[in-house]
Amino acid sequence: QFGAEFRRFSLDRYKPGKFEDFYKLILHIHHIASLEVMIGYADVHGDLLPINNDDNFFKAVSSAHPLLRVFIQRQDEVDYSNFGTNTLSRKKKALVTLRNDNLRRRPHLNISLPHDFRPVSSIIDVDILPETHRRVRLYRHGCEKPLGFYIRDGTSVRVTPHGLEKVPGIFISRMVPGGLAESTGLLAVNDEVLEVNGIEVAGKTLDQVTDMMIANSHNLIITVKPANQRNNIIRSSRMSGSSGQSTDSTASHHSLPTSHVLQNFHPDEMESDEEADIVIEGGLEPQHIPKLHSLTSSSLSRLNGSSLSHRLQRDLVLNNSSGRESNGNIHKLLSSLKTDPRHSLVIPRGGIEEDGTVITL
Amino acid sequence: MRRFLRPGHDPVRERLKRDLFQFNKTVEHGFPHQPSALGYSPFLRLMAIGTRSGAIKLYGAPGVEFMGLHEENNTVMQIHFIPDQCQLVTLLDDNSLHLWSLKQHSGASELQEERRFTLKGPPGSPPSATQVTAVLPHSSRELLYLGTESGSVFVVELPSLRPLEERAVAAEAVLQRVPEDYCNRRSCELVEALREHPKNPNQILIGYSRGLIVLWDLQNSQVTHHFLGSQQLENLYWQRDGSKFISCHYDGSYTQWPVSNDNRQPEPLENVVPYGPFPCKAISKIYWQTTKNGLPYIIFQGGMPRASYGDRHSISVIHGSQQTAFDFTSRVIDFFIIFSSEPTAEFDDPSAMVVLAEEELVVIDLKSAGWPAVHPPYLASLHCSAITCSHHVSNIPLKLWERIISAGSKQNIHYSTMPWPIDGGTNLAPDPPQRDLLLTGHEDGTVRFWDASGVCLHLLYKLSTVRVFLTDADPNDNMNTLGEDEWPPLRKVGTFDPYSDDPRLGIQKIYLCKYSGYLAVAGTAGQVLVMELNDEDAEHVVDHAEADLLQDQEGYRWKGHEKLKTRDGPVRFEAGFQPFVLVQCQPPAVVTSLALHSEWKLVAFGTSHGFGLFDHQQKRLVFVKCTLHPSDQLALEGPLSRVKSLKKSLRQSFRRIRRSRVSSRKRRGAGGNTSEASPDCSAQRSRSASLSWGRGRGDVSDLQNVSFPLKVQEANAKFDQDALQEMELAPVQRKIEARSAEDSFTGFVRTLYFADTFLRDSSRHCPSLWAGTNGGTVYAFCLRVPPAERRMDEPVRAEQAKEIQLMHRAPVVGILVLDGRSTPLPEPLEVAHDLSKSPDMQGSHQLLVVSEEQLKVFTLPKVSSKLKLKLTALEGCRVRKVTVANFGSCKTSDYSENDLAVLTNLGDIQIISLPFLKLQIRYPCIRKEDVSGIASCVFTKYGQGFYLISPSEFERFSLSTKWLVEPQCIVDVPELTSNNHVNNRSGVENAARKS
C-alpha cells in the first residue's frame, strides 16, 4: 500500500518537544493519520532503533548529525527483533532465517525491546554450552572503541579421570576502562579463556592466543569460564524479566541471527564480506561509486560531511517503507550506512567492468 | 557451500604426498657451538669433537662425518679412541663414561652409544674419590685406566665397562717407597696424567698434580721408578723410544726425565721455562716429536709470560732455531699432532698440528716452510663475523661457478697446499645433483659464498664491501706488524674475528642473479650496492646516488646512525664481485627488503620509511615512495633494531622472572601455598603473593652479596632487587587490540617483487614492481622499461597502478604472481637461458599475497579476493618465512609441482599447495623459543632449507623426498700390518675367551 517514499522536514534540535507531537507531525506529513505506525531511526552506527517515547525521541534528535533518518512502518508489521541487530543481517543467510522466524513468531511485547541499545556484544550458543561457560561475541564498530582487555597465563583446575589436576590456562588479566570488553559487562578480570572463535586455547601459549585474538579482532568470539559463577544463565527459566539475569539474557533473546552453532560453521563464511580489503586503482584521483548502492528509491538527504563515511553515504537512499518485503531493504540499507569504511567498501563480485573501478578514499 | 568442498581424504593425493614430501634434518654445517673436548684416532684417521651440550661429532675425509648425542646433555670433558678399534670412550662432567661404536649398517657406518658407566667407590667414600680426571685406554684394548681426584687409578674392563677392583692402583701403594719428606708434603693428590710406555705395554706413567710421577708396572703391581717433580704437574708425554719423557708444569716450565734401569729415582735432565724469566702461565699440554734430522719438535700449549701476554691463547712450536707461538683469537680447547703412527717407524715425523679453539678449527702444516695453515674442508667458522642474513641460490650455471671459484682461489694463496690430513673413512654419498650457493651476510660488511651443494659447507669466496666506504678504522692499522725480532714470536692464525669496526657496514639483504652475475647487497645504514663479476682486478669509481625516502615530509629528525661516508675517487677492487653503483637511502635506516631485476637492470630497495627503484643501467633513480604514516614517530626517529631490542629484552626479562618464579614454586613443593593456583583466586591475592615472594628473593640476593666487599656489587644487587620487585608487580600479560593504521612501523617495507603481468588491463601485460608493508598495504607500480636498443636513451618510467589495504593489516611477507597455468612467474633471465618455460600470458594471472596471518589469492588485473587460507585466526601461528619450492616425486621422474613452504613463528614448517592454498603437510622443525633460529631460516628452491642452531652452525633440512643431502659414509677397519697388532689381537681373543 505504501510505496516507498520520503519526506524531508526540520525540527528544532534543541527543543524537540514531545514524542506525541512528533508522532502526529509524522503522520501528518505523510498523510497517514489513520494508521498505527512504528517510528524508528538510524543512529550514528547505522542501527535501526525505535522511537516510541519522549526519552528515546529526545535521544534520537540529539544524536542526529546533521540529519535524523526516520523510518516509519506499520505497527502490525514491525518486527521488533530487527531493532538493534542489523550488524548481522548483512548476511543473506541470516536474513532468510530472520524472515522465517518473523513468520512464526508472535510480535514481542514492547517492554522487552532493547530500546536505546545497539549490540556491542552478545552471549551466544547458550543452548549448547555448559552452564558454567559463556560464549561472548564482541562487535567492533569501526575503530572508535578499543577492544580493551589484557590476557595472562595462569593455572586452572580441571576434573580429570585422575582427580583434580592443575593445568595451565589463559585468563583475562585487565580491562581497559571505557573499552569494549569492559562496557559489555560480560567479561571480567580472571575469567578463564577457553576458546577463541571456536578454537580451543588449551595447549597454546599466551602469545599464540594473543595472535589468534588479534587476528579475529574484527569479530571476536571468546568462550570464557567466568570467575564469578553467580550470574550464570539458568536454563530452566529462559523467560526474561527476572532482574538477576537480565543483562545476560536480553541479548540472547534477540540474537536469533547470531545463534550460529559455532562448532558447525565454517569461519570463512562468517567473514566472507566482513574482511573485504580496500583496493585503490590507478592514481589517486577520486572516482565515483558505480551502481553499488543504488538499490532502493530516492534520497532523503544529501550529506555533505567531509568524512569518508559521509561521502560514501551521499548516494545512499532512504525510504519510508512498510510491508514485510521492505524489511530486507532496510537492512541492506542500514548495513551500507554503517560508518565503518570496511563494511561500506564491499566490492561487488563481478559487478564491475574490466576498466571501471572502484572505490577511493 | 564451501564447507562441502573442503578436502576430504583423497587417497590418490595422499599417496602422491608421500612421494613428494618428507621431513629430515640431514646435516649440521659449520663449527660446533661451545666445543669442550677433542679426540683423534691415528688408526682410523678420524677426529672427534665433544660439546658442552653433550654432542659428539666425528670427522674424517671430506663428507665423512658422524654425530651422536649423550642423553644427559652434559658437557663432554674428554674423548679417547680405543687403540685400533672403531670405538671411543667419552667422559662427561657428571663423571659418567660412555662407550661409542661405529657400526656398519646396510653398507654405511653409524655412530651408536653402546654402554655407559659411572665409577662407584666403596660406601661412605667422598664423591671426589671416584671423580675421574685422567683416562687411558690401554693398547691391549681390554682395559681402561681411570685416574681420579683421590689419587687412585681404577681399572675398567672393555668393552663391558666392568670395574676390576683387584687391579686398581691405590695411592697408598704408590706412596710406599717414596721418600718420607717428599711424601709428607704431598699427600692426597689427584691424578693429572696417565701415559702408557710406548714400547712396553706393561708399564704406565702416572703423574700426580703436586709433581710426583711414577712408573707403574702392571704385571707386578708395583712402582718401578719415582720421579720427584718439584712443580705442580700439568701433563706428560713419552718420547717415541721410551727412553725419556717430558713433563710440563703450572709455572710455565717443562722438564725432561730419563728412564733407565740403573736409576730408580732419577734427577731431571733439563728444566726449561721457554718464555721466562718472568712468571709464566701454565703449560697445559706438551708434545715431544722426533724427526729424521735429529732436531725434535717441541709443541706446547700456553706458557706465555703472565703479565704481558697472559691473555693470549697460544700454542708454541719449537723446532731447532725456529720458534712460533701461534696466537688464537679464542680459547684453545685442545690440540693434537698428526705424526707417523706406523709402530715400525723410527721417528714421529709430525706432519700437521690440529687445534680446536673455542670458535674455530685451525690446522697447521708442519712440513712446509713457514708452517702455513691448511684450509679446512669442513667445520667452517660461519660466525667469524656474526651472520646478519643469508641467501640461497640453487643450480648455479657452471660458468658462474667457475668464475666464483677462480676469484676465491686468488684470495687463498696463503694457505698450504697440503692435502687434508684427517682423511679416514670413505664418502659414499653420490655427487651432489647440482651446484648450490649459500651466501651469508656478516656484521663486518662481508658476504661469504659457500658451496652448499653437498655435506661439506665450504668457503668459495669472500666479498668485502668495506672498501667503498671511509670508516674510522684503517684496515692497514690492524695488520700484524710483529717482526722477526719480536719476543714472544706470536703469529695470529685463524679467521674468527668477532669485532666489527662499524656496525653500519652490516649486510642485511643479498640478491644474486645467477644468470647475469649481478649481485645486489644492502646494509644497516641504508646502503645498496650493485655489483658485477669481474675476473680481473680493477680500479674504478663507484657511481653514487642518494634516495630521499621521506620526500616532502617535513619536520622530522632522524635520530639514528649517520649514513656511511663514501670514498672519493677510484677504488681498487680485487677480482670477483666489484661494486659499480651505490645508492644510499635517506634517512639511513636499515634496508629491510631488496629486489633485483637483471633483465630490466633495475634494483628496488625498501626501509622503514619507504621504498625506491633505481635504474642501474642509466644510473638514475626512477622513483621513491614514502610509506610512512605521518604519526609514526618511532620509525622516523631511529634505527628499528634499538627499539625492537629494547622491547624484546623487556619481554625476555619478564619471561625470565616468570620462569624463576615458577621453578621456585616447584621447589617449595607440596607444603607451598596451594590456594594460589585456585581458579577463583583474586588478582589482589596473587599480586600480594608475588610481592612477598619478590621480597623474599631480594633478601636472598642481599645475603649472597654481603660477602662481596665491593660497593658496586652491592649497589647492583640493590638495583636488581628493586627492578625485580617492580616487575613482579606487573604480571606477564598481553594486550588484545585490533591493529590500526596508527600502529608503529606500518610503513616498514617487508617485501619487494618484480613481475611482468597484467596490472592495468587483461589485454596488455607490463613490467611491474610490487611492495608489501608491515601495515598490510601492497603497492603496485606499473613500469615502462625502454626496449634494449633504446635502453640508454629513454628513461624508465613508473606509475602507481594499485594500492591494496589488507583489512587485517598484518605485515605482508611475500608477494607472488601466478601465470595462466597457475605457475609462479619465472625469475628474470630464466627463460632467456632456456631454463624455464615461458610464462603463460594467455590465461588470467593471479596475485598471491602472504601476510603474517593469512595467504590470499586475488584476481588480476582487477584485484578481487579469490580465496584465502587463514593461519593465525585458526592456529595462532604467524608466517615468518615463505617461499615457492619445487617438489619432485621420488617415484616418477616426470612429476613435479610447485608448493609454498612456510615457516611459522612456532617453528613449524607447512607445505601449502598452489594455487588452491590447501595445507598439505606440517612438520615441527625449530623450537618456538629459538627465535634466532626461526629468523635465520632460508629455504632453497627445491625444498631444502638451512637455519642457525647456534651462531656458528647451520642445520640443513629437507622437505623433499627427492633432494636430500646427507652424510653417507663408511669407516672400514684398516688392515692390521704389524706384529704388534697381531699380538694385540690375540690378546683380545684371550680376553674374549676369558669373559
Close Cβ partners of B16 (under 8 Å, ≥ 6 residues apart): B889, B895
Specify whether B857 is located in the same domain as B779. yes
d(CA B175, CA B183): 7
Q: Are A313 and A333 in contact (CB under 8 A)?
A: no
Domain extent, residue B941, equals: 878-971
d(CA B66, CA B951): 21
Which among A217, A266, A357 is the nearest to B3, CB-wise? Answer: A266
Is residue B520 scored above 90 in pLDDT?
A: yes
Q: Are B520 and B593 in contact (CB under 8 A)?
A: no
pLDDT in tens, B569-605: 899 999 999 999 999 998 899 999 999 999 999 999 9
| Of the candidate ranges B709-713, B816-820, B918-922, the one whose mean pLDDT is the lowest | B709-713
Specify whether B99 is located in the same domain as B36. yes
B547 occurs within a structural domain: no
Q: Which residue of chain B is at minimal alpha-carbon distance from A226?
A: B680
Give the model's pLDDT for residue A288.
37
C-alpha B816: how far from its chain's center? Answer: 32
Is residue B222 scored above 80 in pLDDT?
A: yes
Top-confidence residue, B38 or A41: B38
- Pick the closest to residue B524 from B548, B503, B551 (CA basis): B503
Dihedral class, residue B54 (left if φ above 0, else alpha if ψ from -120 to 50, else beta): left
Residues B872, A214: C-beta atoms closer than 8 Å: yes
B660 occurs within a structural domain: no
Amino acid at the residue B25: K
B682 occurs within a structural domain: no
d(CA B203, CA B261): 13
Top-confidence residue, A80 or B665: A80
Q: Are B232 and B250 in contact (CB under 8 A)?
A: yes
Chain A neighbors of B802, CB-CB under 8 A? 279-282
Give the model's pLDDT for residue B614.
96
* pTM: predicted TM-score of the whole model, two decimal places: 0.76
Average pLDDT, chain B: 84
Chain B neighbors of A151, CB-CB under 8 A? 733-734, 736
d(CA B851, CA B153): 64
> How many residue pairs from chains A and B have C-beta atoms closer than 8 A?
151
Total domains in chain B come to: 5
Pairing of strands B490-492, B322-328: parallel
Close Cβ partners of B601 (under 8 Å, ≥ 6 residues apart): B615, B616, B617, B791
| Of the candidate ranges B394-403, B452-461, B694-703, the one whose mean pLDDT is the lowest | B694-703
Close Cβ partners of B191 (under 8 Å, ≥ 6 residues apart): B133, B134, B147, B148, B149, B151, B152, B153, B206, B207, B208, B209
Q: Which residue of chain A is at minimal alpha-carbon distance from B659?
A: A153
Average pLDDT over residues B388-406: 94
B312 occurs within a structural domain: yes
Q: For residue A101, what is the enclosing H or E element?
A: helix A92-104
d(CA B781, CA B802): 7
B846 occurs within a structural domain: yes
Burial bucket for residue A304 (CB in 10 Å: 0-12, 13-18, 19+): exposed
**DSSP assignments along B727-782, one per residue:** HHHS--EEEE----TTSTTTT-EEEEEEEEE-SS-SS--EEEEEEEETTSEEEEEE
Specify whether B865 is located in the same domain as B920. no
d(CA A68, CA A39): 12
User: What is the DSSP-derived secondary structure letter of residue B811?
Assistant: P
Cα distance from B902 to chain A (closest Cα, Å)? Answer: 17
Chain B neighbors of A189, CB-CB under 8 A? 683
Give the model's pLDDT for residue A118.
54
- Pick the closest to residue B509 from B604, B614, B380 (CA basis): B604
Specify whether B278 is located in the same domain as B375. yes
| Of the candidate ranges A26-40, A41-55, A57-71, A326-340, the one whose mean pLDDT is the lowest | A326-340
Specify whether B143 is located in the same domain as B71. no
Domains of chain A: 4-82 (3.10.20.90), 121-231 (2.30.42.10)
B634 occurs within a structural domain: no
Residues A173, B928: C-beta atoms closer than 8 Å: no
Specify whether B72 is located in the same domain as B154. no
Average pLDDT over residues B32-41: 95
Residues B878, A211: C-beta atoms closer than 8 Å: yes
Chain B neighbors of A224, CB-CB under 8 A? none
Average pLDDT over residues B499-526: 92
Give the model's pLDDT for residue A271.
44
The grid cell for A194 is: 577457553
Cα distance from B750 to chain A (closest Cα, Å)? Answer: 19
B904 occurs within a structural domain: yes
Chain A neighbors of B804, CB-CB under 8 A? 277-280
Interface confidence (ipTM) of the complex: 0.76
Best of A195, A218, A268, A361 to disrupt the B interface (most B CBs within 10 Å) is A268
Output the CA torsion sign for B472, B473, B475, B476. positive
| Of the candidate ranges A114-128, B42-56, B131-145, the one whose mean pLDDT is the lowest | A114-128
Is residue B537 scored above 80 in pLDDT?
A: yes
Specify whether B845 is located in the same domain as B906. no
Q: Are B923 and B908 in contact (CB under 8 A)?
A: yes
Q: Are B311 and B303 in contact (CB under 8 A)?
A: no
Residues B807, A275: C-beta atoms closer than 8 Å: yes
B347, B381, B415 - which closes a domain: B381
Give the model's pLDDT for residue B126.
80
d(CA B463, CA B540): 17
Which among B731, B738, B874 is the nearest to A199, CB-wise? Answer: B874
Give the model's pLDDT for residue B256.
93
Which range has highest mean pLDDT (A39-53, A66-80, A264-278, B821-835)?
B821-835
Give the model's pLDDT for residue B702.
34
**Given 3-state DSSP classes, what are the helix, strand and coil percentages for chain B, each rounded to the nearest 5?**
15, 40, 45
Specify whether B91 is located in the same domain as B145. no
Percentage of chain B lying above the pLDDT 70 cut? 84
Output the CA torsion sign for B614, B619, B622, B627. positive
Is residue A331 scored above 50 in pLDDT?
A: no
B74, B89, B115 - which closes a domain: B115
For residue B220, the domain's CATH number is: 2.40.10.480
d(CA B256, CA B274): 13
Specify whether B89 is located in the same domain as B135. no
User: What is the DSSP-derived secondary structure letter of residue B276?
Assistant: -
Average pLDDT, chain A: 59
Specify whether B843 is located in the same domain as B926. no
Specify whether B886 is located in the same domain as B854. no
Give the model's pLDDT for residue A134.
85
B381, B407, B423 - which closes a domain: B381
Chain A neighbors of B682, CB-CB under 8 A? 190
Give the model's pLDDT for residue A23.
75
Q: Which residue of chain A is at minimal alpha-carbon distance from B872?
A: A212
How does B553-563 read in b/e, with b if 16+ C-beta sit within 10 Å?
eeebebebbeb
Q: Among all chains, which residue has been given the C-alpha cell 680500479?
A: B539
Specify whether B792 is located in the same domain as B857. yes
Which among A210, A216, A277 is the nearest to B806, CB-wise? Answer: A277
Angle subtended at Cα B251 by Cα B248 and Cα B254, rounded to the nearest 5 degrees: 25
Top-confidence residue, B272 or B987: B272
B722 occurs within a structural domain: no
pLDDT band for position A78 (50/70/90)? low
